[in-house]
A and B are shown apart, each in its own frame.
Chain A
Amino acid sequence: AQTVTQSQPEMSVQEAETVTLSCTYDTSESDYYLFWYKQPPSRQMILVIRQEAYKQQNATENRFSVNFQKAAKSFSLKISDSQLGDAAMYFCAYRSAGSGGSNYKLTFGKGTLLTVNP
C-alpha cells in the first residue's frame, strides 16, 4: 500500500517570503500522480498543483511550484511571494495511474498547517 508522509505539522512564513512544504511517499509503482491540495478554514479541498510521475519537468502554477525527485520519492511544494490568503492546511496526495476506477483513489498525508504572518 502507498503511504504519504508530511513531516511538518506546522509552518509559518512572512508575507511576500517563500516557503517550502515537504512531502515524501512510498510506492512500488512506477507510474502515478502527485497532488497538493489546499484546505482553508472553510474546509473545502482545493487543488493547488499536480505532477505526473512520468514527467521530469517540475509542475508550476503561478506562485506555486514543486520539486519532484522521483528517485528520492520526494514531492515538495514551494510557495513564492506568500500572501495572507495562502494560509491554510496543505495536503500532499498520491494517486496510482493504474487501470480501473478503484486505482483512482487518493492517499493523503496528514497535512501541514501554514500560517502567513503580515
Chain B
Amino acid sequence: EPEVTQTPSHQVTQMGQEVILRCVPISNHLYFYWYRQILGQKVEFLVSFYNNEISEKSEIFDDQFSVERPDGSNFTLKIRSTKLEDSAMYFCASNPNRANTEAFFGQGTRLTVV
C-alpha cells in the first residue's frame, strides 16, 4: 500500500541552525501539508501546498519557515534558524485530489532543538 515517507525519523539540531525535513508524498497526490505537534499538545496546521505554491499558511508559519517541492517527488520543510520552541513532531500529509477527503500522514519527524 502506498505511503507517505518522512526522513529523518529524529533530528537533533543546535539552536540557530538550519534544518530541512523531508517528505515523499504518495506519487499521484496533488495536495501537500505540514503539521506540527508540540509534545503533549494538539496537532496544528502549518502550511498547505498545491500546484507548486503555498495555498495557505498558518500564523505559526513565519519567515523562518519555507517549503518547496524541488524535484516533483520530495516535499521539504526548511526552518532557517531553529529556536528551542521549534522542538516538536512534524508531520507531512497529502491528498490525491479535491474529491478525496482522506489525508494520508507520514510517520513524522521528531525535531529536537538543543
For the complex, is A64 an interface residue (Cβ under 8 Å from B)?
no
Which residues of A have CB within 8 Å of B105?
Answer: 37, 44-46
Nearest B-chain residue to A100, judged by Cβ:
B55
Which residues of A have CB within 8 Å of B93?
Answer: 45, 106
What is the predominant secondary structure among interface residues of chain B facing chain A? Answer: strand
**Total inter-chain residue pairs, C-beta < 8 Å:** 71
Contact A99 B98 (CB under 8 A): yes
Nearest B-chain residue to A110, judged by Cβ:
B42
Question: What's the interface size class on A, roughly?
Answer: 20 to 34
Contact B98 A101 (CB under 8 A): yes
The residues of A with any CB-CB pair to B shorter than 8 Å are: 33, 35, 37, 42-47, 50, 52, 91, 93, 95, 97, 99-102, 104-111
For the complex, is B45 an interface residue (Cβ under 8 Å from A)?
yes
Contact of A104 among B41, B48, B51, B108 (CB under 8 A): B48
For the complex, is B15 an interface residue (Cβ under 8 Å from A)?
no
